[in-house]
Amino acid sequence: MQYISTRGGMQPLPYCDTLLEGLATDGGLAVPETMPVVDGDTLERWRALTYPQLATEVLGLFATDIPREDLARMTAAAYEPFPEEVVPLRDIDGDLTLVGLSEGPTLAFKDMAMQFLGQVVEYALERKGSVLNILGATSGDTGSAAEHALRGKERISVFMLSPQGRMSPFQRAQMFSLDDENIHNIAIDGVFDDCQNLVKDLAGDLDFKRTQHLGAVNSINLARITAQVVYYFWAWLRATDAGGWTELSFTVPSGNFGNILSGFYAKQMGLPIRRLVLAANENNVLDEFFRTGIYRPRSAAQTLATSSPSMDISKASNLERFIFELVGRDPERVLAAWRDLDEQGHVDFTAELPRFQEEFGIVSGTSTHADRLATIRAVFEESEEVIDPHTADGVKVAREYVEPGVPMLVLETAKPEKFAETIREAIGVELDYSSDLRAMLEAPQHVTEMADDQAALRAFIEAHALR
């Protein structure tokens, strides 16, 4: 299996080389040269596997340059910090089932991919005898998941950008309380999209990228996408009966389009998915796109600070991978779309709109602060289950697309403890924290505040990067 760029300017690379590159050398995103396909017999053989075993099988279709025994060792190590079931499924009412993706060390779904990424990046660096300076941006959960997966690793340093004042107190504490020498937290005066633009600008400077050994852990890194494909297969196998070919639907709270893109890849691989339901918050650029065919990103000033902060994104990086498929894998049409965006402020795909639902099965909806409070309250009253605000966005939108006879699975994004203020507002409950979590919240915080200034960021990386 080789990987190419959505913009056509990168020579095909194997999996390990691709994940160390992060952003493709031409500024595009790495995608499989051909998508692997899984048939019904294979799915049935996978039904009895544990989660690490299933991850080995699914990731083995993408990481063909890694010996199977090495891959099995890495998946076992990646999911060792999780409970035995790793990803439990829980019914919350007669229509919806939660896919429990938040059982990892940072209580967020990002752990599912990031724990594997920590293993495979270290493996790839050891094979090359090299180092990597990770440059990432987070709107909340990516940063803590990455830092907890990569802390203390000798060949890796992490430079994680976050928007000042835009994360929950719990999210800030999870990141800023770390004092490992290889972890560098940088709070940017701006919104997530400003942080993401800085990452893309520096990664697009190939001389700087090579000199400073820059890599990525955001979902622009293909390893993140492929690792997330696994839990779609896992959830389907747990929600269906042996020997059947049951279609089901997934609802995915979406900000940067990485999680739902993994579901899109799983569907392309042959997993029987009827619908992929995208749930947006008030920053609903993606909902507008999938409803109208017009992609119109918003400026930093137009990006709202909401009570589901990990979705406060107005320019989704991973949409380029979907557009690549939408335009027939034609890099020239991808580049033309971005030229239109630069010139007009939007891209018009209205001619392709019927394919969104009919061919790709993607529909969407928006949830507001009032919606998520009402949803948290309703779920608690119905099942005594407390869900976080992002998952509540998913549940609210999922209910708009429930179909008779089609199971609807909602991907959980985080534990409610990460958003205690919103939970208190919704149901009047003070969540209990373990002694470890209380100690984290009270620990000294280590963070460098910085203007939205590319030169300042370059200087900081040059002063602290591994060589």
Sign of CA dihedral 192, 203, 118, 1: positive
- The CA distance from 296 to 103, in Å, is 35
Out of 110, 315, 396, 415, pick the active-site residue.
110
C-beta atoms surrounding 102 within 10 Å? 25
Q: Which distant-in-sequence residues (6+ apart) come within 8 Å of 239 by Cβ?
A: 89, 97, 246, 248, 407, 409
Is 315 in the active site?
no
The two structure tokens encoding residue 371: 């919606």
C-beta atoms surrounding 106 within 10 Å? 27
- The CA distance from 455 to 441, in Å, is 32
Q: Single out the residue of 248, 252, 253 nearest to residue 235, CA to CA.
A: 248
Residue 299 one-letter amino acid: S
Q: Residue written as tokens 């969407």? A: 364
| 410 within 8 A of 395, measured Cβ to Cβ | yes
- The CA distance from 434 to 266, in Å, is 36
The two structure tokens encoding residue 132: 């990597």
Q: Single out the residue of 461, 466, 382, 450 nearest to residue 186, CA to CA.
A: 450
The two structure tokens encoding residue 14: 């194997």
**N-to-C CA span, the chain:** 30
| 157 within 8 A of 133, measured Cβ to Cβ | yes
The two structure tokens encoding residue 343: 């010139």
From residue 426, alpha-carbon distances to 168, 304, 372, 377, 419 in Å are 16, 20, 8, 6, 11
| 357 within 8 A of 66, measured Cβ to Cβ | no
| 149 within 8 A of 117, measured Cβ to Cβ | yes
- The CA distance from 329 to 146, in Å, is 30
Residues annotated catalytic, as ranges: 110
